[in-house]
């Protein structure tokens, strides 16, 4: 019985370290993402990807915010995004912001109970 408890304790510690390493890798990958657009088109409800289309407010050209890594992070906040909102994710940062007419919603990247900034 002692050995089983020791084995379980060891495995849980080992898996936590592994999760922290995975979170750090994912956080570094997310830092490379960039998004700056005024939302003009919202993807369908069943679309699991973060694939918003709109206009870059600086260049006034059509663009989209779409990323493999952000699908896991930014997609959690789809319910807050409406047409006319400005989405901002700066390269090198781990904060995603939704600028509305009278409010700014900012979301830090979180993984494994840790908040990354």
Q: Give 13-51 pLDDT, tens digit per residue.
A: 344 457 778 899 989 988 988 899 999 988 876 666 677
Mean pLDDT, all residues of the chain: 80
Which range, of 26-35, 83-92, 95-104, averages the lowest pLDDT?
Answer: 26-35
Cα dist. 89→31, 57, 58 in Å? Answer: 9, 13, 14
User: Taking the model in full, what pTM does it have?
Assistant: 0.76
Which range, 8-12, 23-27, 53-57, is most confident? 53-57
Q: How many CB atoms lie within 10 A of CB 87?
A: 20
Confidence of residue 65 (pLDDT cuts 50, 70, 90): confident
DSSP state for residue 28 in the 8-state scheme: H
Distance CA 25, CA 109 (A): 12
HEC-encoded secondary structure of 61-95: CEEEECCCCHHHHHHHHHHHCCCCCEEEECCCCCE
Under 8 Å between Cβ of 96 and 106: yes
pLDDT of residue 39: 95
pLDDT of residue 95: 95
pLDDT of residue 88: 95
């Amino acid at each position: 019985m002692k050995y089983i408890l020791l084995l379980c304790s060891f495995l849980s510690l080992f898996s936590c370290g592994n999760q922290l390493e995975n979170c750090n890798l994912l956080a570094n990958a997310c830092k490379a993402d960039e998004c700056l657009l005024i939302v003009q088109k919202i993807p369908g409800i069943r679309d699991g990807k973060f694939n918003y289309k709109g206009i870059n407010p600086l260049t006034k050209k059509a663009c989209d915010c779409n990323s493999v890594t952000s699908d896991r992070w930014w997609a959690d906040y789809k319910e807050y995004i409406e047409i006319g909102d400005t989405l901002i994710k700066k390269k090198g940062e781990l904060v995603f912001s939704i600028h509305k007419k009278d409010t700014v919603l900012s979301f830090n990247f979180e993984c494994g109970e840790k908040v990354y900034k």
